[in-house]
Amino acid sequence: MKILIVDDFSTMRRIIKNLLRDLGFTNTAEADDGKTALPRLKSGGIDFLVTDWNMPGMSGLDLLKAVRADPDLASLPVLMVTAEAKREQIIMAAQAGVNGYIIKPFTAATLKEKIEKIFERIDN
Amino acid sequence: MTDKDRLSQVKNLLKALEEGDEQTADRILDEIAGVRESQLFIEVGRLTRQLHDAMVHFSVDSKITEIAAQEIPDAKERLRYVITMTEQAADQTLTVVEDIVPVARMLNEQATKLAENWERFLIRKMPFEEFKGMSQEITEYFNESVKSLEIMQNGLNDILMAQGFQDITGQIIRRVIAMVEDLENGMVDLIRLSSAKAASREAAMSSVELPGPVVPGVDDKHSEVATSQDDVDDLLSSLGF
């Protein structure tokens, strides 16, 4: 299980990476925005995507849309971890096909819960 | 009207007056006055247009008023929130360090003591009665260290999570910088306008499309903001998630 973490703030990438390691996901990769993440995803081997929304270059929402539009990536589980908390934004992400949505600041327990929920759904 | 025209008009006026032709004299006087009036009219028109242009530009620059009335107070709130968040993160980190340091020291002391005794046991310098006590101590140490290491692990996790402030405060500060830039551009335009060079506004203010982190007291005044993860979960489940 390889997870790609996309966030423009390196501190947040490190936090998520460490939390994921605690949850047993030791195989992670990082990207600092959608533009660098997309080629990484297209080259294959990524099983799960954790992405921020507001990033320079290419936003997390655009990345999500690009993933859903690519036949090879369309079914990739995507968890959005973002400070965007307006109803409008959350609905937008849901409509674009996000699998989970966490608002910052978040807790380790929330991350665990959402990831487990996503896997539960996939297994069913 | 040229000077020559005026001169001939005056000559015609004199001639008409000398001849007692009052009708012609009145007509010429009206013409001369008319010229004056139309020049005044043009001048007033020019001033009116300038005033109008200035008003139009000024309404564009009402952006400055908006920044002053709305965005600056908001920015102050946002910056205060940055202070709160950084303070919380520092407090949280320091609290964990203060909690963990004595735990680590205790583990260290116990391990040192046990290691000394263990050494004496290995070189067979320990009476059997003392050995029984030591094995009891070792058991206690194992139990104790599992608990202590758990405390330390949780503490390290709390320190990790506390660093999340950097992302949130970074986003908020970026927004305030964008606001300051808007204000700066507006001020520059206003100065240009007041120096009567009314250069066309380059507008192109980078519009911030995403609302960014929710700052308490600024962004949560309206109900369309999710203030907790529970709100998000409720909204998503209402959408069939």
Q: What is the predicted pLDDT for the residue at B201?
A: 42
Question: pLDDT over 90 for what percent of chain B?
Answer: 31
**Predicted confidence band of residue B196 (pLDDT cuts 50, 70, 90):** low
Tokens read off for B149? 């290491």
What are the phi and psi torsion angles at B89 (to 5°)? -65, -40
DSSP-derived letter for residue A103 is E
Whether A50 contacts A41, CB under 8 Å = no
A104 with B168: Cβ contact below 8 A: yes
A66-70, B50-54, B177-181: range with lowest mean pLDDT: B50-54
Q: Show me where the domains of chain B are located.
A: 7-193
Q: What is the predicted pLDDT for the residue at B59?
A: 63
Interface of B with A in 146-175 (CB under 8 A): 157, 160-161, 163-168, 170-171
Q: What is the predicted pLDDT for the residue at B197?
A: 46
Among A12, A22, A90, whose Cβ lies nearest the Cβ of B164?
Answer: A12
Please write the tens of the pLDDT for every residue from B121-175. Answer: 999 888 888 888 889 999 999 999 999 999 999 999 999 999 999 999 999 999 9
Task: Report yes or no: A1 at the B interface, CB cutoff 8 Å.
Answer: no
Helices within chain A (DSSP H only): 10-22, 34-42, 60-69, 87-96, 108-123
Across-strand partners of A4? A29, A49
Task: Print burial letters for A83-119: b (CB count within 10 Å at least 16), e (below 16).
Answer: bbbbeebbeebbebebbbbbbbbbebebbeebbeebe
Cis peptide before B102 (omega within 30 of 0): no
Task: Report yes or no: A89 at the B interface, CB cutoff 8 Å.
Answer: yes
The structural architecture, per CATH, of the domain B7-193 is Orthogonal Bundle (1.10)
Return the higher-pLDDT residue of B59 and B9: B9
User: CA A53, CA A83: separation in Å to the nearest integer?
Assistant: 8
Q: Mean pLDDT over residues A23-28, rounded?
A: 93
Among B211, B225, B229, whose Cβ lies nearest the Cβ of A106?
Answer: B229
Please write the tens of the pLDDT for every residue from A42-76. Answer: 999 999 999 999 999 999 999 999 999 999 999 99
Please write the tens of the pLDDT for every residue from A72-122. Answer: 999 999 999 999 999 999 999 999 999 999 999 898 899 999 999 999 988
Asked if residue B69 has pLDDT above 90, the reply is no
Q: What is the predicted pLDDT for the residue at B60?
A: 60
How many CB atoms lie under 10 A from the CB of residue B93? 18
Which of A50, A101, A102, A122 to probe by mutation at the B interface, max B CB count within 10 Å?
A101
Phi-psi domain of B212 (left: phi exceeds 0; alpha: psi -120 through 50; beta: other): left
Predicted complex ipTM? 0.78
Highest mean pLDDT among A33-47, B33-47, B204-218: A33-47
**Predicted confidence band of residue B47 (pLDDT cuts 50, 70, 90):** confident
**Which residues of A are less than 8 Å from B88 in CB distance?**
none
